[in-house]
C-alpha cells in the first residue's frame, strides 16, 4: 500500500509568530535572551527538528535575532537569522560531548552581540556542562511559560496533529480487519504499527499507549484474544514530534453483552456532553467532575482516571481535564476526552477517546472513526 500524503513541516511564518510570542514573554520577564535545547522547542520556534540523538539549540535575543546551532549541516527549512553548525558526529560516530560543542559556539556567537544580564532557559535541560555559559548571568526558568505558549496550536501544528490522527484512523480500520478470537496482542500491535507508518510515509516519532485485550490498558502481550472480550486500543502515534491520542474499544467475535452495551452508551453520552459543553473559559476540572458524576451512575469506581489532557509535542500537555489541575479551556487548545468504564463484566473495559480543538464558540472534533464496539 502506498501512502497518499505529502510530508509536512512546520510553517516558517508561524515559527516567526511563535518567536514573537516568546519575545513578548521575555520582555515581560525582563529577559534579554532565551536559549533552548529541548528538541521540541528548537522545532517549535524554528521548524527544524533535530534527529533523535543529535543535539541542537536555539538562541533568541530581545532584538528578535534568532540563532540556530545545528548538528552537522545547516537545515534548508528553518525560521532563523543565523545558523552555525557543529560536528555532532565524527566519521559517523555520535560525540558524547555535543552539548559542550554547542556551548562553545553559543559563547562565541553571543560575544558579538549585546550582553544579556538575564537569560531564559529550560531548567530541566540546562545541565552543568553549560555552567560556563552563565557565569555572571542570572538564569530564569522559562519552562512554565513555554508549556503555556505551547497550548494554543497554530494551523501548521494542527496539520501535524491531524496527520497523526489520520494514522490512528488507519490503525482502527486495520484493527477491525485483524481482530478475531485467537489473535495475539503482539500481532495486532504489529499490524497497527504498519498501518500507521503507511499513512505517515516514514517511521513514527512515537508509538505508544494501550494494546491489551481483556484489560484496561498496557503494552501488547503474547496473549490470544477470546470471544466476548474487548480490545482497548488507545493509540498515541507521533508524526514528526506531534502526537495524536485517541481510543476505540473493539469486540472480539460477533457479540457484545448487555453490560458492554450499557457502559458504551454511558461513555458516548459523556463524549456528547463534552462536545456540547466545552468552550473558552470553561473549567476543565469542572468538566472532569461532571463526567465523573455521569460515569458513577454506571458504578462508582468504574471510572478512575483523568477525563483527558492537551496533546501536542508531548503526550500530556495542558489543559488538564483532571481534579489535580485548575486549567481553563482557551481558544486553540487541542485536547483529548477519554471517558472509560472498567470491570470484569465488561471483559475488561471500554474507553472511547476523541481529540478536539477549542474554537471561539465551542469545539471542533479532529477524530472521525466510528465509536461502535
The footprint of its own copies (CB under 8 A) covers 2-3, 52-53, 90-94, 96, 99, 121-129, 139, 141, 143, 147, 184, 186, 189-191, 193-194, 197-198, 201-203, 207-208, 219-222, 305-306, 309, 315-316, 320, 322-325
Closest CA to 141 of 58, 20, 31: 31
In angstroms, give the least distance from the CB of 130 to its own copies. 9
CB of 122 to its own copies, least distance (A): 8
Shortest spacing between CB 361 and its own copies, in angstroms? 27
What's the CA gap between 365 and 373, in Å, rounded?
A: 20
- Contacts of 98 by beta carbon, 8 Å cutoff, 6+ apart: 54, 55, 71, 86, 88
Residue with smaller CB distance to its own copies, 212 or 251? 212
Task: Tell the smallest beta-carbon distance from residue 234 to its own copies (Å).
Answer: 11
CA distance 98 to 120: 21
Instruction: Confirm if 86 and 102 have CB atoms less than 8 A apart.
Output: yes
Residue number with CB closer to its own copies (128 or 255): 128
Shortest gap between Cβ of 222 and its own copies (angstroms)?
5
For residue 44, what is its C-alpha cell? 517549535
Instruction: Closer to its own copies by CB, 130 or 271: give it.
Output: 130
Pairing of β 138-141 and β 118-121: parallel
Q: Shortest Cβ distance from residue 144 to its own copies (Å)? A: 9
Q: Which is nearer to its own copies, 182 or 253 (CB)?
A: 182
Three-state secondary-structure class, residue 232? strand
CA-closest candidate to residue 68, choices 90, 35, 96: 35
- We find the least distance from the C-beta atom of residue 67 to its own copies, in angstroms, to be 21
Closest to its own copies by CB, 178 or 276: 178
The residue among 195 and 357 lying less far from its own copies, judged by its C-beta, is: 195
CA dist list (Å): 357 to 142, 165, 316: 25, 13, 15
What 3-state class would DSSP assign to 291? helix
Task: Considering the complex, state which of residue 187 and residue 269 has its C-beta at the smaller distance from its own copies.
Answer: 187
**Residues with Cβ < 8 Å from 246, sequence gap 6 or more?**
165, 168, 234, 235, 336, 338, 353, 354, 355, 367, 369
Amino acid at each position: 500500500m502506498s501512502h497518499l500524503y505529502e510530508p509536512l513541516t512546520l510553517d516558517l511564518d508561524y515559527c516567526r509568530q511563535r518567536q514573537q510570542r516568546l519575545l513578548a514573554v521575555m520582555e515581560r520577564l525582563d529577559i534579554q535572551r532565551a536559549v533552548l535545547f529541548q528538541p521540541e522547542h528548537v522545532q517549535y520556534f524554528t521548524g527544524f527538528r533535530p534527529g533523535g540523538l543529535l543535539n541542537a539549540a536555539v538562541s533568541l535575543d530581545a532584538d528578535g535575532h534568532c540563532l540556530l546551532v545545528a548538528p552537522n549541516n545547516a537545515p534548508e527549512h528553518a525560521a532563523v537569522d543565523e545558523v552555525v553548525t557543529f560536528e555532532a558526529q565524527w566519521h559517523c560516530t555520535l560525540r558524547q560531548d555535543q552539548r559542550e560543542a554547542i556551548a562553545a559556539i553559543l559563547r562565541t556567537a553571543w560575544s558579538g552581540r549585546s550582553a544579556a544580564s538575564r537569560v531564559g532557559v529550560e531548567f530541566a535541560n540546562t545541565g552543568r556542562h553549560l555552567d560556563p555559559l552563565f557565569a555572571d548571568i542570572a538564569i530564569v526558568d522559562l519552562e512554565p511559560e513555554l508549556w503555556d505558549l505551547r497550548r494554543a496550536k497554530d494551523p501548521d501544528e494542527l496539520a501535524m496533529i491531524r496527520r497523526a490522527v489520520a494514522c490512528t484512523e488507519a490503525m482502527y480500520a486495520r484493527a477491525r480487519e485483524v481482530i478475531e478470537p485467537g489473535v495475539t496482542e503482539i500481532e495486532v500491535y504489529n499490524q497497527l504499527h504498519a498501518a500507521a507508518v503507511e499513512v505517515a510515509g516514514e517511521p513514527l516519532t512515537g508509538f505508544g499507549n494501550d494494546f491489551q485485550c481483556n484489560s484496561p490498558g498496557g503494552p501488547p502481550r503474547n496473549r490470544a484474544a477470546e470471544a466476548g472480550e474487548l480490545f482497548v486500543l488507545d493509540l498515541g502515534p507521533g508524526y514528526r514530534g506531534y502526537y495524536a491520542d485517541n481510543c476505540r474499544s473493539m469486540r472480539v467475535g460477533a457479540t457484545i453483552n448487555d453490560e458492554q452495551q450499557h457502559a458504551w452508551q454511558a461513555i458516548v453520552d459523556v463524549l456528547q456532553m463534552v462536545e456540547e459543553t466545552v468552550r473558552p473559559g470553561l473549567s476543565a476540572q469542572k468538566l472532569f467532575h461532571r463526567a465523573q458524576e455521569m460515569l458513577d451512575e454506571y458504578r462508582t469506581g468504574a471510572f478512575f482516571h483523568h477525563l483527558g489532557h492537551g496533546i501536542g509535542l508531548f503526550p500530556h500537555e495542558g489543559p488538564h481535564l483532571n481534579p489535580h489541575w485548575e486549567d481553563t479551556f482557551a481558544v486553540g487548545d487541542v485536547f483529548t476526552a477519554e471517558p472509560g468504564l472498567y470491570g470484569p463484566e465488561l471483559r475488561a473495559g471500554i474507553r472511547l477517546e476523541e481529540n478536539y480543538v477549542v474554537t471561539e464558540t465551542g469545539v471542533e472534533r479532529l477524530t472521525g472513526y466510528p465509536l461502535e464496539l
